[in-house]
Amino acid sequence: MRLKLAPGEHVIVRTRPHPRPLLVPFIGTLVVLAGAGFALGLLSRDSLPTEALEWVPLGVILVLAVAVLILLRIFVRPLLRWWGTRYILTSRRLISRRGLSTRREQEIALASIYQLDTSQTLLQRSTGGGNLTVDLGRDRTVVYPDVPQVHTFKQFMVEAIGDLPLTVMFDGVDMEADPVHDLEGY
């Protein structure tokens, strides 16, 4: 699904969350594959009793089925969740899209943002990622987890907010200085 932009609006950044949270599922995948390989090696030994040889094909199928089910649970689900998440910063909005089959989308107008905060764990700092907290006022905050290059992303947001016309920032009230009624030039 393509992003519909208003006239004069353009995309500044389009990114996925940092892939660092996939590290633990990846290590788990390696452990599962090693365990399945070990189990398949045990089943292919020459020293198996002759009465157990007839159960070897069933054992191989069982080991492979269990390994696939575990891999679907510990790696494929987090991978699909990561793959289906996007953070999109336009010149007027911050958009978060989540999901592949069922799509959830959250849009925040840049003009409604009061404050931007970043937080990083030690591991996030080492990879450049971090969490971006958007304060919308009235005790409403939205947290975007694992934003890659969070400080650069925040800087792009600050610049985009600064580039908004004053009429957008103040709900349509024209805040441009009028030289006729300028009090300093009185």
Q: In a 3-state reduction of DSSP, which class is residue 113?
A: coil
- Percentage of residues in the chain with pLDDT exceeding 90? 68
Query: Cα–chain-centroid distance for residue 172?
Result: 33
* Mean pLDDT of all residues in 68-72: 96
CA distance linking residue 88 with residue 11, whole number of Å = 7
* Mean pLDDT of all residues in 50-78: 90
CA distance linking residue 151 with residue 172, whole number of Å = 30
Q: In a 3-state reduction of DSSP, which class is residue 89?
A: strand
CA distance linking residue 183 with residue 44, whole number of Å = 92
Extract the tokens encoding 178.
Answer: 């009028």
* Mean pLDDT of all residues in 16-28: 94
* Mean pLDDT of all residues in 40-44: 89
* Residue tagged 């805040």 (tokens): 175
C-beta neighbour count of 96 within 10 angstroms: 17
CA distance linking residue 92 with residue 11, whole number of Å = 9
CA distance linking residue 40 with residue 19, whole number of Å = 31
pLDDT for position 174: 46
Q: Which of 9-13, 63-67, 127-131, 167-171 has the lowest average pLDDT?
A: 167-171
* Mean pLDDT of all residues in 108-119: 93
Q: Which of 44-48, 88-92, 145-149, 151-155 has the lowest average pLDDT?
A: 44-48
- Kindly give the pairing relationship between strand 86-90 and strand 93-98: antiparallel
- Report whether pLDDT(182) > 90: no
Pick the more confident residue, 45 or 154: 154
Element (H, E) at 90: strand 86-90
